[in-house]
Structure formats: C-alpha cells, structure tokens
Amino acid sequence: MPAGVSGLAATVVLLREPPRGAGGVEVLLLERPRDRGSFAGGWVFPGGAVDAEDLPGAAPGSAVALLDLTPADEEAASRRAAVRETREETGLLLREADLVTLSLWSPPAEAPKRLRTWFWLAAAPTGAIVLQPHEAVDHRWLTPDAALALHAAGELRLFPPTWLTLHGLLGAASVAEVLQGARRSVRAEFATRIVRGADITLWPPDVAYGDAAIDMGLVDALGPRHRLEMRELPWRYLREG
C-alpha cells in the first residue's frame, strides 16, 4: 500500500435506467450531513471505511492490520465493505458478486483521512432507499449530465473523485453497457496530487505531477495533461498527450 495511506475505503456507484424509459443511466447520490465528516455537505456515492471485520474469514471485532493486506485480500475486503456500507447507508441489499471494479483512488497528502478507496459499479437492486440521518440527509437519482450541470451551477457540491466518475459515465446508453465496459477494461488508478493555491488536481502522467514540477510552479509547462482544473465553475477535465 502507498506510503502515508492510513486505511482503506469502498465506494459503490449504483446505476439504474431512468424510470420513464428515456435511455441512459442514473446514479444514486447521497448528501452528507453538513456538520460532520470529511465530505460534509457534499453529494457522494454510498460507501465508507473498510473495517477489520470486512476481511475474508475475520471474526467480528478482530484486530487485523489493514495496511499489511495482500492485493487479493485488499480487494476482497473492499468488496465486502462495499456491500456492508451500501446496506447500512441506503437499506439496499447487494451481493459481492454484483460488484464490478471501476477504479482505485490514492488520496493526496492534504486529505484529512488518507484512505485508499476502491470504486465499484453495480446495478441498483430493487427496494426503497432508507437513509441513516447520521450518514446521509437526502438522496437523489440523477443522470451524470444532470449532476454535473447542477454542480456547474453551484447547486450540488461534489468532490473530485465523484465529479470525475460522473464525467466518465457521460453518454452511457444503459446499465448493461456500463458494466460490460468496466468488465472489459483495466481498472483505472488515480494517485492524486494537489497544486496548492491553484485549485488543480493532478494525476500521472501530467507534466506538473512530480515534486520538482510542483515546487517550481511548472503547472503551465508544455507536456502531457491529466488534471482537473477547479479554479471556477464549471470544472474542466483535461487528458491530453
């Protein structure tokens, strides 16, 4: 596990097709309470930290070093946590086999909680959404373009991993298409860095990603771009070169 990471987390992107048969997909977003937590007031996908009890074969309350897991055990623990967190936060019941790997996010050094987070896709099961007020105060089913439009208008607070995940779902024709595409693809990995004072989030192979480039202020140097510019709304995602 990368140095400085303090734990693991799992996030589930629940998908459904619009009930009016308009085509495309909708995703479930939860609004976090505004007075607590790392994502206070933000709209996020269901998810949370991996607990020791999420490890395959672990007894409840067991003390297991999450940072010493093999890659296979890390993935299995995240999958189990994804099912548990979805149930706890929404009342929806998933099976581990329903989950398809989407991406893996390593947080920036500035993050208050440095949790390496697995993002999973799943078709939303049937059932009513039942929120836990200490976890979420509201929920909405939105198409990716609608969610990003609300964010661009300043009406929906999003964080970079959520924003970029929604951006990646733009143009999806159906839930089946999204899941099949993810199964065929190599899992995306995002080792995030932040340019202080510039409101820019970077990922490899951006020209400004390295320590020297950031220290020297070479954000505008010629070269590859893989970044999210957040100086103003709407945010701008660049992946070039």
Which tens digits make up the pLDDT trace of 124-156?
999 999 999 999 999 999 999 999 999 999 999
Residue 75 belongs to some domain of the structure: yes
- Quick one: 114 and 37 in the same domain? yes
Asked whether residue 23 is domain-assigned, the answer is: yes
Q: Are residues 201 and 221 in the same domain?
A: yes
- Out of 157, 172, 191, a domain closes at 191
Residue 115 lies in a domain: yes
d(CA 181, CA 175): 10
Domain co-membership, 133 together with 218: no
Residue 40: pLDDT over 50: yes
Q: Are residues 50 and 72 in the same domain?
A: yes
Q: How far apart are CA 92 and CA 85, in angstroms?
A: 10
Tokens of 235: 């945010």
Distance (Å) of CA 90 to CA 65, 121, 136, 180: 28, 15, 9, 25
Domain assignment present for 96: yes
Clarify whether residues 156 and 226 are in a common domain.
Answer: no
CATH code at position 172 = 3.90.79.10
Q: What domain count does the chain have?
A: 2
150 and 76, same structural domain? Answer: yes
Residue 1, pLDDT score: 56
- Concatenate the DSSP letters of all residues of 79-140 into one string: HHHHHHHHHHHH-----GGG-EEEEEEE--TT-SS-EEEEEEEEEPPSS-----TTT-SEEE
3-state secondary structure of 191: strand
DSSP-derived pairing of the beta strands 100-106 and 188-191: parallel
Distance of alpha carbon 105 from alpha carbon 44, whole angstroms: 15
Q: Is 110 in the same domain as 141?
A: yes
pTM of the model: 0.92
30 and 106 co-located in one domain: yes
Same domain, 220 and 187: no
Tokens in use for 188?
Answer: 């995306």
For 72, phi and psi rounded to 5 degrees?
-65, -40
pLDDT of 77-107, one tens digit each?
999 999 999 999 999 999 999 999 999 999 9
Over the stretch 162-193, which tens digit does the pLDDT of each residue have?
Answer: 999 999 999 999 999 999 999 999 999 999 99
pLDDT given at position 216: 65
Residue 1 lies in a domain: no
Residues 115, 137: one domain?
A: yes
Q: Structural domain of residue 135, as residue ranges?
A: 7-191
- Residue 2 domain-assigned? no
Do residues 106 and 58 both lie within one domain?
yes
Q: What is the pLDDT of residue 63?
A: 44
| Per-residue buried b or exposed e for 155-168, using 16+ beta carbons within 10 Å of the residue's own CB | ebbbebbbbbbbeb
